[in-house]
Amino acid sequence: MKTMTCKQLGGPCDVAHHGETADEVIKAQDRHLKEVVASGDETHKVPLKEMKGRWRHPISGMAWYRDAKRGFADLPDD
Ligand SMILES: [Zn+2]
């Protein structure tokens, strides 16, 4: 199990996501962005837009995805 924060995944806050794989924390971040923006948060709007763009443009989104995966791989286990 590893931990990545919202900030490490391109967001503005220090909320921590836990997961066994990079995909899990990326999905958790996606959920987190949607939840806080839905509750009226302004600071997560741009990261949410970027995240949505990545799903829509998988090729150009791939570089970010690879970096996130590499960052996750470099983290120590909790
Ligand atoms: Zn956040």
Separation of 10 CA from ligand 1 center, angstroms? Answer: 9
Is pLDDT larger for residue 56 or for residue 75?
A: 75
- Mean of pLDDT over the chain: 94
The pLDDT of residue 56 is 85
* Max CA distance (Å), the chain: 34
Whether 58 has a pLDDT exceeding 90, the answer reads no
What is the mean pLDDT of the segment spanning 48-74?
90
pLDDT confidence bin for 61, thresholds 50/70/90: confident
What is the mean pLDDT of the segment spanning 3-31?
97
Separation of 65 CA from ligand 1 center, angstroms? Answer: 17
What is the 3-class SS of 4-49, one letter each residue? EECHHHCCCCCCEEEECCHHHHHHHHHHHHHHHHHCCCCCCHHHHH
